[in-house]
Amino acid sequence: MARVPTDGINRDLGPLRDRLATIGDLRSAASVLAWDRQTYMPEGGVRGRAEQLASLARVAHGMLVSPETNRLLKDAGEREPGSDDAAFLRLARRQHDRAVMLPERLVADVSRATALAEQAWISARESSEWSLFAPHLERVLALKREEAGYLDGDHPYDAMLDRYDPGASTKRLRIMFDELKAGIVPLVRDVSARLDEDRAAPLRGSFDERAQEEFGREVISRFGYDWSRGRQDRAVHPFCINFGDPDDVRITTRFDPMRLSVGLFATCHEAGHALYEQGVDPSYSRTPLSGGVSMGVHESQSRLWENLVARSRPFWSFFHDGLGAAFPDVLGDVDLETIYRAVNAVRPSEIRTEADELTYDLHVLLRFELELALFEDDLAVADLPEAWNAKMAEYLGIIPDNDALGVLQDTHWAIGYFGYFPSYTVGNVLSVQLFEAAVNGRPETMLQMERGEFDALLDWLRENVHRHGKKYEPDDLISNATGHPPKTAPYLKYLQRKFGELYGL
Ligand code: ZN
């Protein structure tokens, strides 16, 4: 595809652009504080930090909904379709319109209720006591449903989805999940019938944390993560964060001294997010066009590097020597095929974040169905644990020993993130569609991977996905990049081929 030069944001939009840049700066400052909270802040800082974050959010929200912003948006008129200016205005208006639809009282209620619910969730999970969390979840859910009532959508759940994936709809997700369910559930059943020895065993043992960190850094440096515009720190829940421009994009990770895959794949995953952010056109900095376009597309990037790259045979044919050298006592003698089978070992398990590539989407499917039932009044909060376990039994053939390993495992509901889970699966689906288009566009990709080189792949992603930031709607971005709107067939075919081969189906 020919490179279309970005034209930047027109000068006559200056005052509006400045105002939105200031609002963006406030949010970026909040992100720095959030990053600090999750990495270096002492525990004692919690309450002060909550106030600082709330103040910044309040000031930013106030500026966004103010008559002055409204006037600047109205006066801006219309711009040439397809231009950066048109995208800038579309995104700015969307932000503004969504913000004014929600009463300030509700915004404050959600913020307070989720802060309390998160606290309650932490204790509830520690003691595996659902009853400690249930009343908080009732409250959060009631507020989110009220929020949905103020926002647009054919279905109340659409308003939840829209926040993470503009344009996503309940109707479309139902179709996607139905297709995936029909393909993955029988595949998992077939593989489960063939679970032989514990293939993941080589990845358990004693792994020096320093060596783990160094190995991960080597991998993502080769991916193209730019350390002069980023850094890596430790955090309990790994994440990637940016501050409104591509020149400071940070990742965090955590290491398990007994299990190699935890730190390694978290590092690759977060680096995938970071490569996206580092690749956005710098002229979009401090504008609504900066950053990844949706959570679904964002997850497509993290999952692409984590799974299509770091769980592939070409990748390990290059890295397996280095891995043996990094952990000579545990992995010094392990051959390539054993490593490849180990990083792709399937084992239905309770915890989503530790799930293998094949069963992962069933964890998401379960959450999607439960969320939908909650929003459609088909399920009461009180009945969630039972509904959870029933679906685990149906899709994965296991029932969690307790609620901490079941319905209480994720933080999303506590913090009000209904509608977020589907992004993980949308990301998986898109990751394969994009990867195949990249390999088509740059056939040297696979051979390069065997040499530990990734520039053809990164270059294609930069060109077709990263640099565009939020300029296009997610569907248009995918269609432009791959020639098709999002579809599940390539993903299902990929899973069938890969795991069919691995398990001799
Ligand atoms: Zn992610």
Q: Rounded CA gap, 106 and 86, in Å?
A: 31
* Two structure tokens written together for 185: 């559930």
Q: Are 343 and 275 found together in one domain?
A: yes
Whether the per-residue pLDDT at 1 is higher than 60: the answer is no
Looking at residue 153, its pLDDT comes to 79
> Does residue 79 fall inside a structural domain?
yes
Above pLDDT 70, what percent of the chain? 98
Mean pLDDT of all residues in 272-289 = 96
Q: Are 143 and 60 found together in one domain?
A: yes
Could you report the per-residue pLDDT of 476-503, keeping only the tens digit for each?
999 999 999 999 999 999 999 999 999 9
> Does residue 4 fall inside a structural domain?
no
Largest CA distance in the chain: 69
> Does residue 159 fall inside a structural domain?
no
Q: Are 145 and 230 found together in one domain?
A: no
Whether the per-residue pLDDT at 7 is higher than 70: the answer is no
Cβ contact 301:467 at 8 Å: no
Could you report the per-residue pLDDT of 21-56, keeping only the tens digit for each?
999 999 999 999 989 988 999 988 877 888 888 889
CA 265 / ligand 1 centre spacing (Å): 11
Containing structural domain, residue 255: 170-502
Mean pLDDT of all residues in 308-326 = 97
Average predicted confidence (pLDDT) for the chain: 94
Count the residues in the chain.
Answer: 505
Whether the per-residue pLDDT at 3 is higher than 70: the answer is no
> Does residue 109 fall inside a structural domain?
yes
Q: Are 385 and 251 found together in one domain?
A: yes
> Does residue 393 fall inside a structural domain?
yes
270 labelled catalytic = yes
Could you report the per-residue pLDDT of 389-423, keeping only the tens digit for each?
999 999 999 999 999 999 999 999 999 999 999 99
CA 271 / ligand 1 centre spacing (Å): 9
Specify the range with the lowest mean pLDDT, choosing from 99-103, 281-285, 314-318: 99-103
CA 270 / ligand 1 centre spacing (Å): 6
Q: Are 142 and 179 found together in one domain?
A: no
Residues β-bridged to residue 233: 252
> Does residue 330 fall inside a structural domain?
yes
Could you report the per-residue pLDDT of 150-208, keeping only the tens digit for each?
998 789 999 999 999 988 999 999 999 999 999 999 999 999 999 888 999 999 999 99
Whether the per-residue pLDDT at 6 is higher than 50: the answer is no
Looking at residue 268, its pLDDT comes to 98
> Does residue 288 fall inside a structural domain?
yes
* Two structure tokens written together for 94: 């969307």
> Does residue 141 fall inside a structural domain?
yes
Dihedral pair phi/psi, residue 232, rounded to 5°: -125, 130
Q: Using a CB cutoff of 8 Å and minimum separation of 24, what contacts does 433-440 make?
A: 433/478, 433/482, 433/484, 433/486, 433/487, 433/490, 433/491, 434/300, 434/304, 434/461, 434/464, 434/465, 434/478, 434/481, 434/482, 435/304, 435/308, 436/482, 436/490, 437/464, 437/481, 437/482, 437/483, 438/464
Could you report the per-residue pLDDT of 439-474, keeping only the tens digit for each?
999 999 999 999 999 999 999 999 999 999 999 999
Whether the per-residue pLDDT at 144 is higher than 90: the answer is yes
Could you report the per-residue pLDDT of 119-129, keeping only the tens digit for each?
899 899 999 99
Whether the per-residue pLDDT at 351 is higher than 90: the answer is yes
CA 164 / ligand 1 centre spacing (Å): 13
Strands (E), 156-313: 232-234, 240-242, 249-253
Q: What's the domain count of the chain? A: 2
Q: Are 94 and 40 found together in one domain?
A: yes
Q: Are 286 and 406 found together in one domain?
A: yes
Whether the per-residue pLDDT at 347 is higher than 50: the answer is yes
The active-site residue, picked from 270, 350, 357, 371, is 270
* Two structure tokens written together for 211: 């060596």
